[in-house]
Amino acid sequence: MALLIKNGTLISASDTFKADILVEGEKIRQIGENLTHPSAAVIDATGKLLLPGGVDPHCHFDLPMFGTVSSDDHYTGHKAAAFGGTTTVMDFAPQPPAAPGKWDGFQAGVDEWLAKAQKAAVDYSFHMNLTHFDDDVAASLPALRETGITTLKVFTAYNGRLRLDDGGIFRALRAAKGNGMLVMSHCENGDVIETLIPEALAAGHTTPEWHALTRPAWGAVEATLRMCAMAQQADAPVYIVHMNVGGEADMLQYARERGAPVMGETCPPYLFFSIEDMRRPDGAKWICSPPMRTAVDNVRLWQALQAGTLQTIGTDHCPFFFDGTQPIIYEGRPIAIPGKELGKDDFTKIPNGLPGVQDRLPVLWTTAVRSGKLSANQFVALTSTNPAKIFGLYPRKGALIPGADADIVLWDPEKKVKYGVAHSHQRTDYNLYEGWELVGYPEKVFLRGKLIVDGENWLGKAGDGQFLKRGEGEVM
């Protein structure tokens, strides 16, 4: 059945104009004014905005950590994403371990995450964590690319678990370049962190702010510059994830001005919160890696977004209960999952991660667009179009153009919402933006032409989401 959305204002990454959208099947067939169709269902979008569904390049669902698991899975987290106007999410699959002298390839990790995602409610893709690297792994990259996974994530921290040494990262960069793939990097200094944590514990420092104090900002700054330098030397692109320090933006700007093929992402909490929030009685709510920094860093990251130094805003969505001993009601049933209370006496045992996949677009619309920090076009670029281009999904995703998937958000720019955990569909017991007054919110959300969110009504279901095979992306 055809769908015709009439009289809306379409916002793209570059333009704003009055438009009707004709949808047939799962695709956008036509965009223009005064469109007609003999049998289409018609929605009047007068006074509303038409936005492409959000593309969140950085999420974690059903992630084991510290003896528990993140509280959103590939259904609940996807449902929350949809209520916030996001219709495409990207998760991280684990690299399978290698037996001594034997490497069986990436497929076991891909299959594990595909099995988890059978309940997907929006469209999704995966990045691959790269936690060991040798010639056999390099030889397996073409097969990984054939599965539609074209991104590799490396870590400069988490010694003995996730980290690759610089030589391994450099070799991985060159191998990725040869296969048309992109390396993403978590940038902190693992050696410094591994030195400071036991010293803090020995001195009796166990409260949440010590999570930040044992992961110094300078470690992120120098690791970011180091990654940029390796990218330039390997002539291979790098995408720095969850940038949280003003100095990281400085290093990215320095590298980009000198032609290095590097890009950067930040996340909403790093724009609003600081180590001072971690000093609150409920400071564990803000524990994530990398950690909250300072108000000065908040300001510098906003400047980097405004200047185009940063290309995307993801969420690093990885929620845990604040008090997993007390159940919440989710879809009519009680559920409790051990969470941040596991580290009430030791910051190193607090699961690292925050909710955010639903919050991203509504919070940023009020704080960035309505405040004048960013234009509506920049908002669309940072949260949808740019990630779709960088990660090889454009023009299928990230734009409202003929031939694209009909992932359409009908946005009410005047809708007022007192936001918080009661309004959120993220499966956890707290929200970072509790009590915030928001103006502007999704009214209807379509996934490939299917209405899945209608006001507060959930019309989607587990299994609606499709795995997206990605091609080579753009360096922006």
State the Cα–Cα distance between residues 6 and 29, nearest whole angstrom.
Answer: 14
Q: Is CATH 3.20.20.140 the classification given to domain 54-390?
A: yes
Count the helices and strands in the chain (H runs, E runs). 14, 21
20: its two tokens: 């009707």
pLDDT at 100 over 90: no
Domain regions of the chain by residue span: 2-52+395-458, 54-390
Q: How many C-alpha atoms does 34 have within 13 Å on its Cβ side?
A: 0
State the Cα–Cα distance between residues 301 and 376, nearest whole angstrom.
Answer: 18
Tens digit of each residue's pLDDT (9 = 90 or more) over 422-452: 999 999 999 999 999 999 999 999 999 999 9
98 — pLDDT class (breaks 50, 70, 90): confident
What type of residue sits at position 64? Answer: P
Give pTM, 2 decimals: 0.97
Q: Give the fold, CATH level 3, of 2-52+395-458.
A: Urease, subunit C; domain 1 (2.30.40)
In this prediction, residue 434 carries a pLDDT of 98
* Biggest distance spanned by C-alpha atoms of the chain: 75
Tens digit of each residue's pLDDT (9 = 90 or more) over 117-168: 999 999 999 999 999 999 999 999 999 999 999 999 999 999 989 999 999 9
CB-count burial class (<10 Å; 0-12, 13-18, 19+) for 456: exposed
What average pLDDT does the structure give for the chain? 97
State the Cα–Cα distance between residues 52 and 19, nearest whole angstrom.
Answer: 13
Tens digit of each residue's pLDDT (9 = 90 or more) over 162-221: 999 999 999 999 999 999 999 999 999 999 999 999 999 999 999 999 999 999 999 999
E-assigned strand segments in 146-268: 151-155, 182-186, 238-240, 262-266
The label of the residue with tokens 């977004």 reads 305
